[in-house]
Amino acid sequence: MGYDAAATKARILEAATREFAEYGIAGARVDRIAVSASANKRAIYDYFGDKEQLFTKVLSDACSRLSSEVPLEEGDDLAEYAVRVHDYHREHPEFLRLLMWEELYYREGPIPAEEWRTERYRRKTGIVAAAQREGRVRCDVRPDALLFMLLSLVNWATGAEQLRRVITGGMAEDELRRSLRASAVAMLAGKDV
Note the pLDDT tens digit of each residue in 14-23: 999 999 999 9
* Domains (range + CATH), the chain: 1-55 (1.10.10.60), 70-189 (1.10.357.10)
| Residues of the chain under the 70 pLDDT cut | 1-2, 191-193
Task: Please tell me the distance from the alpha carbon of residue 30 to that of residue 34, in angstroms, as a whole number.
Answer: 6
